[in-house]
Structure 1
Amino acid sequence: MNALKLYGVGDLRHEQVKPPVIDEENEVIIRVKAAGICGSDLSRYRKLGPYIEGMVWGHEFTGVVETVGKEVTHVSPGDRIAACPAIVCGKCEPCLKGVPSQCMNLTVMGSRQPGCFAEFTKLPAANVWPLPDAISDDMAALIEPSAVAVHGLYRTDLRPGGSMAVLGCGNIGLLSIQWARLFGAKTVYAIDMDPEKLSVAKQMGADVIINPQEKSAYEQLMEYTDQKGVDVAVESAGSPFTSAEVLALPCKGGEVVFMGIPYEGVRIERFFFERIVRNELRVYGSWNAVSAPFPGKEWTTTLHMMRTGQLNVRPMITHRLPLREGVQVFEDMLHKRDFFGKVLLYPE
């Protein structure tokens, strides 16, 4: 079968590999219909390289059941499915406490076991479930990043009538904007230096867009909020500077959620750090997209909101390409040869 395999930093190859086979009776083999490129994929491509050299890559996808093990009863060959790529052990202390996102042995397909940038892939039965007909393949490929975004917002006390600022309008930031609207936020601020990303943010539900190239995000947000700040500030850019600046955006008693991952050291100026103390902020990290009972409300809520049309991810999708063009599109994304939102790959 066709697959994309990552061998090293900048070394992605389109190759023929053997398709997966059933080894355990609780496994499901899936024919991949659509797979999305995650921002973490691009970071690993240009900075970190693979966990295991030559691993089949990718973790955001949807597909159709091809084969099931003998113990699998909730899906059958031919079923369209949603797929959670996070593999948890279910045995460590966090798992037993009902916090699988903190699993001591958590891994994700595409890192230490073959991923979804291929014609076929494999997951445990607990990680797949039937997909409603109302959700298209393109939409279903974004269920996982949607679950990542709402996982972070579930950590907060955001309520109807509240306000939220999103610092960084990549895919997770854009989904956070739409989830803020679904949580009932009255005002959502989108912050980014890319005008095209800000344009998509408006389509996703942002009320106010802020470009810090004109004036700092902090100064502009304070002007918009009469010097009060917002109830919740989300850091989804993953840059060292925004990881500090986000601390100055919430109001007194407000909240900060870190969803982005900076791959450099973060130096926090005294002014930004003092906001934690002086404003008595609550600061959260948000990792992965699962809760108990596994895979969690992040997934069931996303399915419901997509099925009913309340969650609309279509404005985010900018490219639909065959899998064989995956090597080239990663280079194009790295060198910013076009505006890239969510890129979907389709195995032949």
Structure 2
Amino acid sequence: MDAVVLVGGKGTRLRPLTLSAPKPMLPTAGVPFLTHLFSRIRAVGITHVVLGTSYKAEVFSEHFGDGSSLGLELEYVVEEEPLDTGGGIRNVADRLREDDVMVFNGDILSGVDLAGVVGTHRDNAADVTLHLVKVADPRAFGCVPTDAEGRVEAFLEKTENPPTDQINAGCYVFRREALLSIPTGRRVSVERETFPGLLAEGKRLQGHVDTSYWLDLGTPGAFVQGSADLVRGIAPSAALPGPAGEAIVLDGAQVHPEAVVTGGSTIGAGCVVEAGARVDGSVLFDGATVAAGAVVERSLLGARSTVGAQAVLRDVVVGDEATVGARCELLSGARVWPGITLPECGVRFSTDA
């Protein structure tokens, strides 16, 4: 079986961090997020992986190369213009070798049993199998009802009264014939066009339904949560650069004995966390500094950024090489763009800075 990973998005909801790198390449529990997904793909026995890229496509190939260091064979296909999920899948078809292909959205953190998804596909001789995850509140998602045999019945838009708690989890298995039915050279949505069209043709779309760990990492809050869940071992990965626990501190980082680092935080290489500082459930990219007495909670600090003494950051994104001055207080949703310096001021910010 081949695998396709779709990584063409610009990650606009994670700006300014994605100004310098695509979302799947952002450090997540100490390594680029895609490394965690690759480890799960390799564990299920798939070795040939095709990446559908677009935004900053060269970053992927420069980091992973041919994939041999991960026990994989990687190929890269660049979209000249955005093609959406269906168009992105069809765009890589000429690189596929097998009759079945497993497709992943490159920004989903999931604990689904991938071998189980493949088994469901083959046991039911399905044209397409979809991983469907049950969520506590499906109102924010499109819903996918299935019948008693697990066959997909429809694809429904968001509604205040969803008829099911099953949502599309962004992982599929396609038979080659179904994949080749997707039109070429234009944007195609799998949920609005491909899957409804296959249903109308009488094709078998099978649901693999479970309640496994699942998180879309598209927003800063979700990204921080996903990284922390990986660090603490709540979300599965064989790619952690250290044992699961309250924190991962990468080589070359300096954490003062009187600093407190908890909540599944990641402290990147070359970072400095000074005495009396507290870092909780946060991600510090390489070279970031948290000065004495500062508090950083549920936040993302870009590479070589600085948080001044006694500053307080909660639910904040700080761009690469930005500086938050001493005693500043940044709260929910504040974003400091790369290279910006907020002077020592004792002022509270809660919007983009």
What is the TM-score normalised by the length of structure 2? 0.28
If each structure's helix is expressed as a fraction of its own residues, which one has the higher value?
A: 1
Taking CA–CA contacts closer than 8 Å with sequence separation of 6 or more, which of the two structures ends up with the larger relative contact order? 1
Larger radius of gyration: 2
